[in-house]
């Protein structure tokens, strides 16, 4: 090869390397929408945890012991969801971020209604949309995290609804609820061997009162 040709080749190769380096940031895959959704879910669950603990305190003050217990069990469930979402966020190379606002507790009846509204939105709107997107992004961990949270929120909504409809009977001392420590599903009584949501063995259930 002639010297001039060699110089030209080295120059062109160098140019390609420089151009590739310049273009690299723009050709990197855009962050998955699912990461954004996981962050939104992590933020929502973290705030729900704080809110339910404040609602539990209020329910105790108003003499609704079983409602306070339910809020404590649900607060624990939301903490479990937040941890699951955080793990999925980290797996995708991001850092979980939440902006936990100071919760405002109203009357227990109003708190139950607010909680039911939140759970219903997550069960019927938010998580179904996030699951759809996670499937499009082919992220198995996010699909699982969103799916398990969705069904668990359904179990919370069901119990909040029961309390709202028959609030007078939810006065009195605290009572135990059974919480799946894996997925946050809550039941009054255990009549199964495996969690109906995540299929974990029943031994994974803990009592929260
Ligand atoms: Fe919930
Ligand atoms: Fe479970």
- pLDDT grade, residue 86 (50/70/90)? very high
Q: Residue 90 Cα, ligand 1 centroid: separation in angstroms? A: 22
Q: Residue 180 Cα, ligand 2 centroid: separation in angstroms? A: 5
Q: Residue 159 Cα, ligand 1 centroid: separation in angstroms? A: 10
User: Which residue has 């609030």 as its token pair?
Assistant: 167
Q: Residue 198 Cα, ligand 2 centroid: separation in angstroms? A: 4
Helix (H, G, I), strand (E, B) or coil at 138: coil
Cα 169 to Cα 154: distance, rounded to the nearest angstrom: 22
The whole-chain average pLDDT of the chain stands at 91
Nearest ligand, CA 126:
1
In whole angstroms, how far apart are CA 153 and each of 82, 128, 146, 158? 13, 12, 10, 9
pLDDT tens-place string over residues 22-47: 554 444 455 689 999 999 999 999 99
What is the Rg, in whole angstroms, of the alpha carbon atoms belonging to the chain?
24
- Return all residues near 73 (Cβ < 8 A) that are at least 6 apart: 177, 179, 186, 208
Using a pLDDT cut of 70, give the percent of the chain over it. Answer: 85
Q: Residue 200 Cα, ligand 1 centroid: separation in angstroms? A: 19
Instruction: Kindly tell me if the per-residue pLDDT of 134 is higher than 60.
Output: yes
- The enclosing H or E element of 27 equals helix 3-27
Q: Residue 205 Cα, ligand 2 centroid: separation in angstroms? A: 8
pLDDT at 160: 98
Instruction: Kindly tell me if the per-residue pLDDT of 15 is higher than 90.
Output: no
pLDDT at 27: 42
To the nearest 10 degrees (0 to 180), the angle between helices 108-121 and 65-91 is 30
Nearest ligand, CA 81:
1
Q: Residue 145 Cα, ligand 1 centroid: separation in angstroms? A: 13
Q: Residue 151 Cα, ligand 1 centroid: separation in angstroms? A: 9
pLDDT at 138: 95
pLDDT tens-place string over residues 149-202: 999 999 999 999 999 999 999 999 999 999 999 999 999 999 999 999 999 999
Q: Residue 120 Cα, ligand 2 centroid: separation in angstroms? A: 19
pLDDT tens-place string over residues 58-72: 999 999 999 999 999
Cα 74 to Cα 110: distance, rounded to the nearest angstrom: 17
Q: Residue 160 Cα, ligand 1 centroid: separation in angstroms? A: 10
User: Which residue has 């409809």 as its token pair?
Assistant: 165
Long-range CB pairs of 137-141, under 8 A, 24+ apart, other chains included: 137/32, 137/33, 137/34, 139/32, 139/34, 139/88, 139/92, 141/87, 141/88, 141/91
């Amino acid at each position: 090869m002639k010297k001039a040709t060699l110089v030209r080749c080295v120059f062109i190769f160098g140019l390609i390397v420089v151009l590739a380096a310049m273009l690299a940031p723009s050709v990197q895959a855009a962050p998955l929408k699912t990461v954004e959704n996981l962050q939104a879910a992590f933020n929502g669950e973290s705030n729900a945890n704080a809110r339910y603990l404040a609602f539990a305190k209020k329910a105790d003050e108003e003499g609704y012991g079983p409602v306070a217990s339910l809020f404590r069990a649900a607060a624990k469930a939301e903490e479990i969801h937040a941890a699951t979402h955080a793990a999925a966020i980290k797996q995708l190379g991001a850092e979980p971020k939440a902006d936990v606002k100071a919760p405002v507790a109203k009357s227990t009846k109003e708190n139950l209604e607010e909680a039911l509204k939140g759970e219903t939105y997550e069960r019927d709107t938010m998580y179904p949309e996030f699951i759809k997107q996670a499937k499009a992004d082919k992220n198995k961990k996010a699909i699982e995290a969103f799916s398990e949270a969705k069904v668990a929120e359904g179990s919370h909504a069901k119990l909040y609804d029961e309390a709202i409809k028959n609030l007078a009977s939810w006065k009195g001392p605290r009572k135990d609820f059974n919480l799946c420590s894996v997925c946050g599903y809550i039941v009054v009584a255990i009549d199964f061997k495996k969690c109906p949501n995540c299929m974990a063995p029943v031994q994974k259930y803990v009592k929260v009162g």
